[in-house]
C-alpha cells in the first residue's frame, strides 16, 4: 500500500486518486483524477486570490460607496491620503469621526495652506485673520458655527469647505485648542462661540453662559475662560442671546472687554432688535452682522434658497454674511455651491474681511 505524506488537502486528494488509478489500471479513473486535480488547483488559486483582493475591495467600497443619498468617504490611515469622494449636490457628506490629531495625520494640509500669524503687536482680530485677496466682485462670507462637538461633522467642515469659509467652535468642545489649530492648518480662520442668555427658557447657554442676572465681573470671568480655551481665535460668535443682546447694561461691559482684548464679534442673528451694532459702533469694536442664517434642520431646498438669497444680498450691498449651523447635507451643498461662485459674479471671502469698526 502506498504512503501519502503530503498534508495539503488538495495534494492529498490528488495523490490518493492517482494511487487508486495506478493500482486498478483503469483509464476512466486516471481521467477523473486529472480532472479533480485541476479543479483543486483552480479552487486553491481562487482562494488565495480572494484573500489578496478582499482588503482592496473593502477599501474601494468604502471610498466610493453610496449609502442612500449620502456620499461616503474613506479614511485610509495614510499621510498621503486625500479626499477620495468630492462633495456634490446629490446629498449629505458623511465622514468617520476623527480627532484633531487623527485628522492631521490622515489629511495633512497642503504646502502653503496653513495660516500664518500676523505681527505680534497686531490685535487678535487682525493677527489671526485669513488674508483676503482683493477682488472687484461683491464679497460673500460664510461662518459655520457650533463645531467641535461632533467629530465627523467638524472634520468634514475643515476638509471639505473652502478655506475662505470661517469656522466657529463651541466653547464646550473637547480638544477645542487642537480643533482650532487643525482648522488654521487647513487655511480656515477660527472664532469661538459665545453662549448668551436666551429669552426662551429651554435654551441653555451652558456652564459658562453669560447671563443678564450676573455681575459684570462674573460675566467677564466667564468670557475669559472661554477665550482662554480658544487660542488663536480672532473673535467670538454670538450663540443664542435673544435676552442678553437686548439688555444694554449687561452687554456694554462684555463688548468693552472684547475691545480691550483685541477681539472681534460676529452677530449670528439678523434680528434688528439686537444691540451689538449700535453699542459696538460707539467703542469702535470690530463687528459683523449676519444677513441670513441656516439651522441644522434645513432641507436641501432651504439651504440652496438661503445661499441664493445671501448671494443676492451680497450683489446688492457689495457684501453679505451667511451663518450656518452645520449638518452633513449643508456641508456638502455649500462645498459644491461655492464652486459656482465665479459664475455668479461673487467672491468668497473670510468673515474677517468684512469687519466694521
In a 13 Å sphere around the CA of 44, the CA atoms on its Cβ side amount to 11
| Same domain, residue pair 146 and 47 | no
Higher pLDDT, 356 or 4: 356
Q: How many degrees, rounded to 5, is the angle at CA 69 between CA 67 and CA 75?
A: 50
Q: What is the mean pLDDT of residues 327-339?
A: 92
Output the nine-digit C-alpha cell for 161.
469647505
What is the domain count for the chain? 2
| Same domain, residue pair 150 and 288 | yes
Domain contains 72: no
Domain contains 286: yes
| Same domain, residue pair 55 and 160 | no
Domain contains 117: yes
The pTM (predicted TM-score) of the whole model is 0.76
Q: How many degrees, rounded to 5, is the angle at CA 234 between CA 302 and CA 355?
A: 65
| Same domain, residue pair 303 and 193 | yes
Domain contains 71: no
The range of the structural domain enclosing residue 126 comes to: 110-354
- Among 134, 131, 84, 87, smallest CA distance to 112 is for 131
Q: What percent of the chain has pLDDT over 90?
A: 68
| Same domain, residue pair 229 and 146 | yes
Q: Of 38, 60, 82, which residue sits at a domain end?
A: 60
| Same domain, residue pair 343 and 219 | yes
| Same domain, residue pair 283 and 206 | yes
Which CATH number belongs to the domain containing residue 273 in this structure? 3.20.20.370
Domain contains 190: yes
- Among 329, 338, 266, smallest CA distance to 303 is for 329
- Among 306, 298, 251, smallest CA distance to 273 is for 251
Domain contains 125: yes
Question: What phi, psi does 296 have (nearest 5°)?
Answer: -65, -25
| Same domain, residue pair 145 and 27 | no
Domain contains 333: yes
Ranked by mean pLDDT, the top range of 16-20, 242-246, 340-344 is: 242-246
Q: What is the pLDDT of residues 261-306, one digit of tens each?
A: 999 999 999 999 999 999 999 999 999 999 999 999 999 999 999 9
Higher pLDDT, 40 or 164: 164
pLDDT of the residue at 340: 87
Domain contains 88: no
Torsion over CA: 288, 137, 92, 59 (sign) = negative
| Same domain, residue pair 230 and 343 | yes
Distance of alpha carbon 186 from alpha carbon 155, whole angstroms:
11
| Same domain, residue pair 242 and 337 | yes
- Does the structure show a pLDDT above 70 at 208? yes
| Same domain, residue pair 170 and 280 | yes
* Residue 73 contacts residue 95 (beta carbons within 8 Å): yes
- Does the structure show a pLDDT above 70 at 333? yes
Q: What is the pLDDT of residues 98-133, one digit of tens each?
A: 999 999 999 999 999 999 999 999 999 999 999 987
Q: What is the pLDDT of residues 47-69, one digit of tens each?
A: 443 443 333 233 223 322 322 23
| Same domain, residue pair 181 and 35 | no
Amino acid at each position: 500500500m502506498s504512503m501519502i505524506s503530503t498534508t495539503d488537502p488538495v495534494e492529498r486528494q490528488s495523490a490518493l486518486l492517482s494511487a487508486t488509478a495506478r493500482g486498478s489500471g483503469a483509464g476512466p479513473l486516471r481521467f477523473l483524477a486529472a480532472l479533480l486535480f485541476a479543479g483543486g488547483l483552480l479552487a486553491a488559486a481562487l482562494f488565495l486570490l480572494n484573500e489578496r483582493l478582499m482588503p482592496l475591495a473593502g477599501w474601494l467600497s468604502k471610498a466610493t460607496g453610496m449609502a442612500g443619498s449620502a456620499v461616503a468617504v474613506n479614511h485610509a490611515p495614510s499621510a498621503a491620503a486625500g479626499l477620495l469622494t468630492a462633495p456634490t449636490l446629490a446629498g449629505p457628506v458623511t465622514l468617520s469621526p476623527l480627532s484633531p490629531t487623527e485628522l492631521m495625520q490622515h489629511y495633512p494640509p497642503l504646502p502653503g495652506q496653513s495660516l500664518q500669524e500676523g505681527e505680534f503687536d497686531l490685535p487678535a482680530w487682525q493677527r489671526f485673520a485669513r488674508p483676503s485677496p482683493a477682488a472687484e466682485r461683491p464679497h460673500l462670507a460664510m461662518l459655520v458655527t457650533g463645531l467641535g462637538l461632533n467629530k465627523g461633522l467638524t472634520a468634514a467642515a475643515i476638509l471639505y469647505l473652502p478655506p475662505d469659509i470661517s469656522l466657529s467652535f463651541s466653547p464646550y468642545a473637547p480638544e477645542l485648542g487642537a480643533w482650532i489649530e487643525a482648522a488654521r492648518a487647513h487655511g480656515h480662520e477660527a472664532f469661538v462661540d459665545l453662549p448668551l442668555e436666551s429669552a426662551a427658557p429651554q435654551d441653555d447657554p451652558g456652564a459658562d453662559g453669560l447671563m443678564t442676572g450676573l455681575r459684570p465681573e462674573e460675566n467677564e470671568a466667564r468670557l475669559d475662560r472661554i477665550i482662554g480655551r480658544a487660542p488663536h481665535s480672532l473673535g467670538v460668535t454670538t450663540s443664542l442671546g435673544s435676552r442678553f443682546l437686548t439688555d444694554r447694561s449687561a452687554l456694554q461691559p462684555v463688548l468693552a472687554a472684547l475691545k480691550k482684548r483685541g477681539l472681534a464679534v460676529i452677530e449670528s442673528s439678523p434680528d434688528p432688535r439686537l444691540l451689538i451694532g449700535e453699542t459696538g459702533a460707539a467703542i469702535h469694536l470690530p463687528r459683523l452682522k449676519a444677513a441670513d442664517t441656516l439651522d441644522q434642520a434645513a432641507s436641501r431646498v432651504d439651504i440652496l434658497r438661503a445661499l441664493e438669497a445671501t448671494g443676492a444680498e451680497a450683489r446688492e450691498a457689495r457684501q453679505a454674511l451667511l451663518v450656518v449651523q452645520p449638518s452633513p447635507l449643508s456641508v456638502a451643498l455649500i462645498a459644491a455651491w461655492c464652486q459656482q461662485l465665479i459664475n455668479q459674479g461673487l467672491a468668497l471671502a473670510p468673515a474677517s474681511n468684512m469687519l466694521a469698526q
